[in-house]
Copies of this chain bind each other. A is one copy, B any other.
Amino acid sequence: MAKIAVISVGKIKTKYYKDACDDYIKRIARYANIENIEVSEFTLPKNPSQKEMANAKGIEGDRLMDRAQKYDAFYCLDGLGKKYDSHKFSKLIQNDFNKGKNSIAFLIGGSNGLSDDIKKKSDGIISFSDMTFAHHLFKVMLLEQIYRAFSIINNEKYHK
């Protein structure tokens, strides 16, 4: 069975987002071993400087990289990345599977975003939207698209 991971910075505290993530994780588990990995946020002082924010991004990037490198492929989620529709996103996953890449990770940065270093090392940068969404809402959106991708790959009717 294929392995899919969502690796993100910070813990979800809002109950409705946690419940939404848990629900999609349960649904994806029918198709793949799905891992939900949360690396810890780097705590910044109040009103951090640009340098402190860049530093936090770098440290969080290292924490993400440490987990991501165990996968055959990993992708960064970033508003400035390449745009996919749901079918193209499912093709991306399918193509990796076809190439024998059976474990894929998707990375979501913290409130400071993803470091340039991790973006360079990734297998691709994916954009869902020009808009900025709350970090934890975005995780639900990503899990929903992964679930949708598997239902497309398996030619199943997607039940909303």
Q: Give me the interface of A with B, judged by CB distance under 8 Å.
A: 14-17, 19-20, 23, 79, 83-86, 89, 111, 128-137, 140-141, 144-145, 148, 160
Contacts and interface: CB of A to CB of B under 8 A. Distances in A.
A89 B160 contact: no
Contacts of A83: 130
B132 A86 contact: yes
Nearest to A145: B131
Contacts of A14: 23
A23 B16 CA distance: 10
B160 A136 contact: yes
Given A16-B16, A16-B23, A130-B83, A144 B148 contact: no
Given A16-B16, A160-B111, A85 B144 contact: no
Contacts of A86: 131-132
A137 B130 CA distance: 17
The 9 A-B pairs at the shortest CB distance, nearest first, are namely A16-B19, A85-B130, A16-B16, A129-B129, A16-B20, A134-B160, A86-B132, A86-B131, A83-B130
B16 A84 contact: no
A136 B137 CA distance: 13
29 contacts: A14-B23, A15-B16, A15-B19, A16-B16, A16-B19, A16-B20, A17-B20, A20-B20, A20-B137, A79-B85, A84-B130, A84-B131, A85-B130, A85-B131, A85-B132, A86-B131, A86-B132, A128-B129, A129-B129, A131-B145, A132-B148, A133-B141, A133-B144, A133-B145, A134-B160, A135-B160, A136-B160, A140-B140, A141-B141
